[in-house]
Each structure stands twice: as structure tokens, then as C-alpha cells.
Amino acid sequence: MDCLHAMAPNDEELLGFALDEEALSAPTREHLEQCELCQQRLSGYKQVNSAIISQLYRRLCPSGTQLSLYCAELLPVEERTRVASHVLDCPLCTAEVAETRLFMAMPLLEPFREAAPLAAARRIYATLFRQQAQLVLRSGDTVSEKAWPRQYRAEAIDISLHLSRASNGQYILLGILTSADSAESVDAFEGAKAELYCAQENSDADERNPENAICRAVVDDLGNIVFSGVPVGEYTLIIHLPGQEVIIEGIDIERG
């Protein structure tokens, strides 16, 4: 049903606004914000647009692998030119290329800081106390049947582990440290180093050498640890906090 109000947008105006966000006149926009009928018409156009995009995206667009190779400048000249031309006209691929380039610009290893001798640290094994299901991948993919994020506790320290996946398919493991002790701030954790080891190798913590770690990182000023480019596998995380060494075992990352 069409709205009969004098300021109601016609079908062409609503379609342009739904597809390209073409500007509406101030009186028309004001009417749209107040008219449920016109809002329903706009919602219908947006749903049709989303349905069309979901059907055409990746059918007419380069594959994710092609876009990743394009960002890395590894495509042949002719194919690179074709992909570049498509990206200029496709907002979805433009956004994916920007995301991929941003990820590629991130260092795989964070700056490494010296810490106190490990022999003086008190070793604490964290325990898993909460595990929740959460979608973490783009395009509706799932990481694993095992739930993320995962919440661990090591005495007064809580560690939340989150798994995500970049547009090029590589996994990113994020750790968030907080303290249940109101007298202790996460600022005290800044600069602490952390390593991710394969669970099958050197199961004894005394034998682990940071040089053999799969990934290394440091805790930032917000209490965050970011491991980029983590391969599929089972890992042990060691965080070297002041005066103590927190160990989290059984971190499994499975191919989605």
C-alpha cells in the first residue's frame, strides 16, 4: 500500500535511498522517520537488495583467494588488472580488500621485552570455568564445534580467550587479562611477554624455549594479548607476569 501523504517518497526515491543511500529532501526524510508505512516500504526494498547481493556476491566477484593474492601483488598482470577494475566497482570487494591489506600490515610478532628470570616466577596453571558458543568468522562460517570464547582463572587473574579468523583465512587468538583483585590494575601486566607452544612438544614447562614458540606477543596497556597467524593445532599458552607464570593448556584450534 502506498502512502498518500504529500511528503511521502515515491518508489524511485525509496529505491535509490535503499540501494545507494541517495539523499532525500529534508521534508521527505522527516516524513520517513515518522511514517510506519513508508518505513515498511523502505524495509522491503532493503530486503530485496540484500537477497540479490547474497545471490550474486562470490558468483560474479573474485574468490577470497584471488583477492588475497591481489592484495599481496602475486597475480599475473592481466588478472591483476581485471580484479582491480572489479574492486573499483564493487563495494563488497573494496571492503574485503581494505580488511585484507590492514591485516597484512599487522606484524606477526609484537615487540619483545625482557622480563625477570623465569626461575624466580611462581607457576600457576589456569583452569577453564566457562565456555560459550559464539560465531567468530565472516560470511557465516564456523570455527569449530568446540565453543569460544573461553574463560580461565588463575587465582586472582581472569583470562578470556577469543578466536577469530581474518579474511585471508588465518586465525587470530586474542587474550584479555583482568584481575579480581581491586588493588591490582592491568597496568601492572603491560609489557609481560607471552608465548604459544605446540602441546605435543616439550610438555614440561621447564624445557620450553621462547625461541621455539609458534607465536610470541606482549601484553598491551589494556591487558590484551594478540597472536596473529596461528596455525591449526593444540597449544599451551604461557604468560610471564611479574613474579608469576600463568599456564593455560589444551587450547585447541581446529580447521573450520
Q: Are 198 and 224 in contact (CB under 8 A)?
A: no
The dihedral through the CA atoms of 200, 202, 203, 208 has a sign that is negative
Q: How far is CA 120 from CA 187, 190, 192, 201, 245, in A?
A: 21, 19, 15, 23, 9
The dihedral through the CA atoms of 11, 17, 23, 28 has a sign that is positive
Task: Tell me the C-alpha distance between 231 and 215, whole Å.
Answer: 10
Question: pLDDT tens string for the chain (256 positions)?
Answer: 678 788 888 878 877 777 666 678 888 888 888 888 888 888 887 777 666 665 655 567 888 788 888 888 888 888 999 899 988 888 778 888 888 888 777 765 555 555 444 445 689 999 987 654 444 444 444 434 467 788 899 988 899 899 888 777 888 999 999 887 777 777 888 999 999 999 875 555 556 788 888 999 999 988 899 998 899 999 999 999 988 899 999 898 887 6
Burial 191-229 (b: 16+ CB within 10 A, else e): bbbbbbbeeeeeeeeeebeeeebbbbbbbbeebbbbbbb
pTM score, whole prediction: 0.48
Task: Tell me the C-alpha distance between 30 and 26, whole Å.
Answer: 6
**What integer pLDDT is reported at residue 121 of this predicted model?**
67
Looking up cell 591487558, which residue turns up? 223
* Residues comprising the chain, all counted: 256
Residue 218, all three cell numbers: 606482549
**How many C-beta neighbours within 10 Å does residue 255 have?**
10
Residue 255 gets which letter from DSSP? Answer: -
Q: Are 200 and 218 in contact (CB under 8 A)?
A: no
